[in-house]
Structure 1
Amino acid sequence: MEFTFYYYTPSAAAGGIFAGLFGVCTILHLYQLLRTRTWFMIPFMIGAALETVGYIGRVLSSVEAPDFTKGPYVMQSALILIAPAFLAASIYMTLGRIIAMLDAERCSIIPLRFLTKLFVAGDVLSFLMQASGAGIMVKDNTSADTGEKIIIGGLFVQIIFFAFFVVTALIFEIRMARQRVLVSSSLRSIWRRHMVALCFTSVLILIRSVIRVVEYLMGYDSYMMKQEVFIYVFDALLMFIVVFALNWSHPSEVNCALGRAEKYFTRVVAVHKFATPAMEMEEGRGSSRK
């Protein structure tokens, strides 16, 4: 039986709206990245760009209906599937920088030198499995089932590592409270704001991955696969919120507190200078001398 690209005609309006939304956020992330030199956000920006191109692929498919071709289908199927892996990589690195900013490695269940490496390694494995599975799935009719199984495996890897990451972040928060680690008021504000953003975006990606696993477990000809609304409600919308959330609460503020950048963006993308902990201590000594 010939492989079925879509069981419906993709909506050009929905695809265009999300391509535009992701495109605007991608441009803003690029601007924030270059202005603040927050280089660990490069994977996040790439993920946002992949989402943009993926939904452009859905628009192209809608134009081709009903004679769909493989190019636009593969573009949207593969890029929308793997984009969250790039978003996750920067989120993983943010937690490591928050811990370093607070000088609170003792409150982490994973040593700081291994924390980012462990989660990014799992992220890369998940990405490779999903990307290869998506390629195999549309290669020919006989390999579609194999592709689905590899994609499901990759999504399970992503869920396991993300769940462990969320647990790691929560344990860190609990230990910080129990041990009553002293943190300056300025750093406390940054810490709270970015931990909320980190946990919020992590949970959204986790929900999205669980939904995609259910989707593939039900089979390519399942009800979920035949209804376009699911990809927009449980993938496009959730990932847009993730991308926009880190536009709004950009991690460059954490980088600045570590002394790795001079500027960061606040809610209205206004540039400010931030004093590092060492600078605060020096100012305190100067005041006492007076």
Structure 2
Amino acid sequence: MSRPYEGYVDPDFPNPGGPNSARIIIYGYTPALALGVLGVVLFFVALVAHCYLLFRHRTWYFSTVAVGTVMEIIGYVFRLLSSQQNPYSVPWFVAQYFCIVVAPVSFSAAIYTVVSVLVNTYGRQYSPMPPKAILGIFITCDVVATIVQVAGAALVGTAYSNQDDPSTPNNILLAGLAFQVFSFFVFLVILAWTLWKARQSSVSVARSFLVALVIATLAVYLRTCFRLAETAEGLMQTLSTHEVFFGCLEFAPIVVAVYLFTWWHPGPWLSATPNSGSKRHEGAATAS
């Protein structure tokens, strides 16, 4: 006797069949048109802004943000295709998952780079790790975690397509997310340590920029914690079958992080000025 196949089936989108379609909608819902359009538009505007800032200030180390926004655009284009044409398509699901999962790694890499520049600015003695170690260790951790996640997601899609049990692939996905949450938490500890100790530094960086950096970093971390909770809950459960959670805890935090870095782009803001007693520099340094 065959195992009953559970999951979300939308009567408005009958299963088209074929080798590239699952018998259920793997998303757990039909992706909303509005969210797909909003994603494409907002990330396209952010891409234009970041490309302009990148060339204006020549902060090439921050170019990974532009790369991430391109991936977000591609991901939401595939969600639009799923929404309007075929929500059962396994390749489209995997493609949007790959792009939307990998894109924040580019944003994380930009944050690691900014923190490494901060360490150089304040002085090596104010950080528990040297700048190159921060970049090398945490970027490597993110790459490894992302490879595991994408492999797990691809196997989940394949399992659904072949009507196999997706539990093992989901556990692979869970392992990648758990490792990423742990490594990012360690980075947050290093960031907090550095900012706390740097109060004693003879140089000062605009406080508003540091606040924006912390908020953007926490937004990216919130998104990663959501993905971990969603996967840990299990397939076709509450978090994974209600798009409102995706919109509020995946889409919104990344948009916040990307747009914070359009105004508080490190080009005009990440410049050190001498401390004078207890008075700290609050404005931006010379833009260029």
2-structure distance, mates of 1:147, 1:35:
44
Residue 135 of structure 2 is aligned to residue 120 of structure 1: no
Contact 1:136 1:143 in 2 (8 A): no
* Equivalent residue, structure 2, for 1:10: 31
Matches within 5 A, 1:148-159: 148-159=170-181
Change (3 A) 1:254 1:248: closer
Deviation digits for residues 196-229 of structure 1 (CA, Å, limit 9, x no counterpart): 2221111111111111111111111101111111
Contact 2:209 2:264 in 1 (8 A): yes
Contact 1:15 1:56 in 2 (8 A): yes
Contact 2:117 2:131 in 1 (8 A): no
* Equivalent residue, structure 1, for 2:14: none
* Among 120, 126, 130, the residue aligned to 1:111: 130
Q: What TM-score do the two structures reach when normalised by structure 2?
A: 0.81
Amino acid at match of 2:99: L
Contact 1:108 1:172 in 2 (8 A): yes
Contact 2:267 2:287 in 1 (8 A): no
* Equivalent residue, structure 2, for 1:172: 194
Amino acid at match of 2:107: L
Contact 2:90 2:158 in 1 (8 A): no
* Equivalent residue, structure 2, for 1:160: 182
Deviation digits for residues 154-173 of structure 1 (CA, Å, limit 9, x no counterpart): 21122112111111111112
2-structure distance, mates of 1:119, 1:14:
31
Amino acid at match of 1:68: Y
Change (3 A) 1:6 1:181: closer
- Deviation for aligned residue 1:143: 6.6
Residue 113 of structure 2 is aligned to residue 98 of structure 1: no
Output the aligned Cα RMSD: 2.3
- Deviation for aligned residue 1:244: 0.6
1-structure distance, mates of 2:103, 2:232:
20
- Greater mean deviation of Cα atoms: 142-151 or 214-223: 142-151
Which structure dedicates a bigger proportion of its chain to helix?
1
1-structure distance, mates of 2:28, 2:225:
22
Uncovered stretches (5+) of structure 2, i.e. residues with no partner: 6-22, 274-282
* Among 95, 100, 117, the residue aligned to 1:75: 95
Matches within 5 A, 1:1-290: 1=5, 2=23, 4-65=25-86, 68-102=88-122, 104-141=123-160, 142=164, 144-177=166-199, 180-183=200-203, 188-190=204-206, 192-253=207-268, 272-273=287-288
Amino acid at match of 1:164: V
2-structure distance, mates of 1:144, 1:83:
25
Contact 2:180 2:224 in 1 (8 A): yes
Identity %: 26
**Total equivalences in the alignment:** 254
- Deviation for aligned residue 1:246: 0.6
1-structure distance, mates of 2:266, 2:142:
19
- Deviation for aligned residue 1:248: 1.1
2-structure distance, mates of 1:40, 1:146:
38
Instruction: Name the SS for the 2:27 alignment partner.
Output: coil
Contact 1:40 1:93 in 2 (8 A): yes
1-structure distance, mates of 2:269, 2:118:
6
Change (3 A) 1:147 1:82: farther
Q: What TM-score do the two structures reach when normalised by structure 1?
A: 0.80
1-structure distance, mates of 2:266, 2:225:
26
2-structure distance, mates of 1:227, 1:126:
25
Change (3 A) 1:113 1:189: closer
